[in-house]
A and B are shown apart, each in its own frame.
Chain A
Amino acid sequence: MKRSIFLLISLVFLLGSCTSIYMKKSGDLALQIAESLNEENPLFPSEHSSVPFVFDGEILVTTTTVSALWNGIVDGRFSIQNPVITSIEPLASEDFSIFRNSWEMEVFFKTRIPRYAYKVSIEGVEADMILLLFRNEEKTYSVMGLKAGTE
């Protein structure tokens, strides 16, 4: 009995640590994305993005459109100086309304969210952004969504 309780506690602890590690790694990538935008480097976020990709209320289905998005953000002089992570949370299907309160977004969040997906909120001096990241099959991390704005 004691052994079973010990195993159960260990399992819960292990699962908790895995989630913490995944969240920390998602946060690390989010900060790298923010820094690369500050350095006017669209290549890094492009290379770490996956499709389909959510941008505001839009669903981007080709890497070409996603690259155009990151290039456009850099060309538009968006930067997020002194980026600070304000929250990292597991992504939930109800989070669709952060992007757009529409049937399309609701369906996308209900059907397309990978198992280990996280919502990272970052604030900077003049701008903020929310990045959606997930741990992919290769056990690396990818960006699958962005909402960016100025204060």
Chain B
Amino acid sequence: MKKFIISLLISAMLGSLYAQHSTLEYIEGEVVIKRISGDMEEAYIGDSISPGDSVITGADGYAELSLESSSTITIDRDTVFVFSHREKDEEKKSIFMIVLGKIGFKFDKLIQEPDIATPASIAGVRGTEFTVVSALDGSALYIVSEGSVAVEAKGGLVVLESQEGVAVPLGREPGEKFEVMIGQEDYSEWIDDGWKEFRDNPSDVLAGISSRLEEYALEAEDFYTRYDGSYRKLKSLRDKLDDIGNEQGTEARGNFYKKEVMPLEEVTGNFVLNYRYYALSALSLRRYVLTPMYVEMKTKYIMDQKNEIFTTFMKEYERFLSIFEEEVVPYLVEADI
């Protein structure tokens, strides 16, 4: 029943969400779009990317997106980019999520400042040019070429100005700022370090990712509970609305709708937006971070499955999946798969 209600709400919200979008201006190699509807499509120049869609590049892939505000986003190889939305401070806000890989942002005339999220951190931007890298171990790296970026994680805040960078390990505050010689950064080494860290400590790295998954699941549950309460209240207000219409006429009905029902409809919609945001962030971790980890470990130990490193990893893998199946799946719909 919960899934049915979610499906209905998503369908109802699609129209308004699709109001904002970006366009693929250039692509190279393997670039796939996963639509909010669940369809997986090969990407073509000119394709629209709307809130809820993801852009995934392969080993030879590269994509450039333009936003309505004449800003650009460059998506490097082996990257998963999710164009999302959520409500924050009573405003619907765009969130550009880098689940894995490297993305460059160049924001010119921002209509509204988006948030930039990785599994480890969230950042606010002010008219700026910067790069974000998210590694397999969940750590993130921010490098600012121009402007200013405020990076937040686990209660810690670092404000980066031009030619400054910061690393954010998963589950920890941002580290110390460092100076960057723009044009001489080596992002591939950072990404390789994430893989190395995983290969050296597979179970520990996965345990960190599982903790992040738990946080997403808790947020999804919190917003769903708030949505549920709000929806019940909305239902009774709508019943009252019908009674007012029958007893006091159209004008009274209209006034009651504007004053009482409409604001609650918006609040209820925002709760949906938020619990879906957290549930889909959890799904991204499961699909784009856990899957390559599992492929790496299962194939490495395919002829030695009793190896202790593998069995320990598999225990954590099962723990991750049980959290996912019990605490996240209730907030997903078939189209998400």
What residues make up the interface of A, taking CB atoms closer than 8 Å to B? 51-52, 55-65, 67-69, 71-73, 75-78, 102-104, 107-108, 110-111, 127, 148-150
Contact = CB atoms under 8 A, between A and B. Distances in A.
Interface residues of B, number: 32
B19 interface: no
Contacts of A67: 59
16 contacts: A51-B32, A51-B40, A55-B295, A56-B294, A59-B291, A59-B337, A60-B295, A61-B288, A62-B30, A63-B58, A65-B295, A68-B295, A75-B300, A102-B321, A104-B337, A150-B302
Interface in B308-337: 321, 325, 329, 334, 337
A149 B56 CA distance: 29
A65 B300 contact: no
Contacts of A68: 292, 295-296
A127 B40 CA distance: 33
B178 interface: no
Given A52-B40, A68-B292, A104-B337, A61 B302 contact: no
A59 to B, nearest CB: 7
B298 interface: yes
A64 B302 contact: no
B78 interface: yes
Contacts of B16: none
Contacts, number: 87
B30 A64 contact: yes
A150 B301 CA distance: 11
B276 interface: no
Contacts of B236: none
A11 to B, nearest CB: 34
B56 A61 contact: yes
A107 B334 contact: yes
Contact of B303 (A57, A76, A102): A76
Nearest to B291: A58
Contacts of B59: 64, 67
A67 B329 CA distance: 28
Nearest to B38: A111
Given A64-B78, A103-B329, A150 B305 contact: yes
Contacts of B61: 64
A71 B59 CA distance: 14
A103 B325 contact: yes
A78 B32 contact: no
